[in-house]
Copies of this chain bind each other. A is one copy, B any other.
């Protein structure tokens, strides 16, 4: 270590000074450090200490504004703590996820993960990493296996369906996400159970399983619209599929909410500026990421929690203009929000 020589001390003293211990020739060391633009080697430090002061953040889709917001929230919280964040994208692909996690193994001290599926294959791998892990948005493995921050998917989807039913809809098309994923499954189940409670027997044709991506949502919406008896309302289980569905409505010139009502899960950046405004199930985003990071930092710097914590955040139904009574229901809309029943003819 050249710095030591230049400051006229041993390398141990330099190390000590840099770590904050009291040292006699502190100034000389500082000078030498400055003169030589010395930077401690992360690798050597990490090899010696066994820690990396790095946190992995792995999400299924970085272009999805929801995950972008989650990442931002997490990042904001991590600012204070002296950790570097490593962000990775799995593209909603389980194999990608496996690869990414493998490449991260050994590089990170903690992991914030939005798992692609609930399949438990990964679970063992996750445990083997031997580091604190907080799951975001999606569970994995057995219930309560890891800390996780979720939202009330079931309740959110239920509320959306109940709202549509309340408006008079009976034929409600579902654009669900992959049933192997937590939000896909829970939102689907929430919707189905709300339908059942309303005494509606859901036709299989009205159920479309998408992939949480925009093209999938587009195709699913098209299939729904092409039915011999198309739905009077559609619920899409996430934001990207909502974009696809809206685009399908646009391309097929379906009037919303005149001919078709629509509710999405997750708000969009311009959801309020669309005409009509997007009615959707809204949920905290940055807050979810922030909370997850706080949990992780807790297990990282303090002692790990005795048992996995599970946090479920609430959703709210944000009513804007994309829903109305079903066409031909004998209920007609006047103006922008008032619905007046005229009675059946």
Q: Which A residues are closer than 8 A to B by beta carbons?
A: 37, 39-44, 46-47, 52, 54, 62-63, 65, 68-69, 71-72, 75, 84-89, 103-107, 128, 243, 246-247, 250, 268-270, 272-275
Contact of A269 with B250 at beta-carbon distance under 8 Å, contacts A43-B52, A75-B89, A84-B103 already known: no
Q: Which residues of B contact A63 (CB under 8 A)?
A: 65, 68-69, 72
Question: When the two chains form the complex, which single residue of B43, B88, B273 contacts A246, counting CB atoms closer than 8 Å?
Answer: B273
Q: Which residues of B contact A72 (CB under 8 A)?
A: 62-63, 89
Residue on B with the closest CB to A42?
A: B106
CB distance from A102 to the nearest CB of B (A): 9
CB distance from A264 to the nearest CB of B (A): 12
Question: When the two chains form the complex, which single residue of B41, B68, B103, B274 contacts A270, counting CB atoms closer than 8 Å?
Answer: B274
Residue on B with the closest CB to A249?
A: B273
Interface of A is mostly: mixed
Q: Which residues of B contact A39 (CB under 8 A)?
A: 105-106
- Check A247–B272 contact: CB distance below 8 A: yes
- Check B272–A243 contact: CB distance below 8 A: no
CB distance from A50 to the nearest CB of B (A): 8
Q: How many copies does the complex hold?
A: 2
Contact of A269 with B272 at beta-carbon distance under 8 Å, contacts A42-B107, A44-B47 already known: no
- Check A88–B85 contact: CB distance below 8 A: yes
Q: Which residues of B contact A75 (CB under 8 A)?
A: 62, 89
CB distance from A303 to the nearest CB of B (A): 24
Q: Which residues of B contact A88 (CB under 8 A)?
A: 84-85, 87
Other than the given A62-B68, A63-B65, A243-B269, 18 more pairs (CB < 8 A) read A39-B106, A40-B106, A43-B52, A44-B47, A46-B46, A47-B47, A54-B107, A68-B68, A71-B89, A86-B86, A87-B87, A247-B272, A250-B272, A250-B273, A270-B270, A273-B274, A274-B274, A275-B275
CB distance from A80 to the nearest CB of B (A): 12
Q: Which residues of B contact A270 (CB under 8 A)?
A: 243, 246, 268-270, 274
Residue on B with the closest CB to A82?
A: B103
Q: Which 7 A-B pairs have the closest CB atoms?
A: A87-B87, A43-B46, A275-B275, A43-B47, A270-B270, A42-B106, A63-B68
A69–B68 alpha-carbon span in the complex (Å): 11
A103–B44 alpha-carbon span in the complex (Å): 15
A246–B42 alpha-carbon span in the complex (Å): 46
A105–B37 alpha-carbon span in the complex (Å): 12
Question: When the two chains form the complex, which single residue of B41, B85, B86 contacts A47, counting CB atoms closer than 8 Å?
Answer: B41
- Check A84–B107 contact: CB distance below 8 A: yes
Q: Which residues of B contact A37 (CB under 8 A)?
A: 128
Contacts A/B (CB < 8 Å), 23 sampled: A39-B106, A43-B46, A43-B47, A43-B52, A44-B47, A47-B47, A62-B62, A62-B71, A62-B72, A62-B75, A62-B87, A63-B65, A63-B68, A65-B65, A68-B68, A72-B89, A75-B89, A84-B86, A85-B86, A85-B88, A86-B86, A87-B88, A269-B269
A28–B338 alpha-carbon span in the complex (Å): 77
A255–B46 alpha-carbon span in the complex (Å): 59
A63–B62 alpha-carbon span in the complex (Å): 9
Residue on B with the closest CB to A286?
A: B63
Q: Which residues of B contact A246 (CB under 8 A)?
A: 270, 273
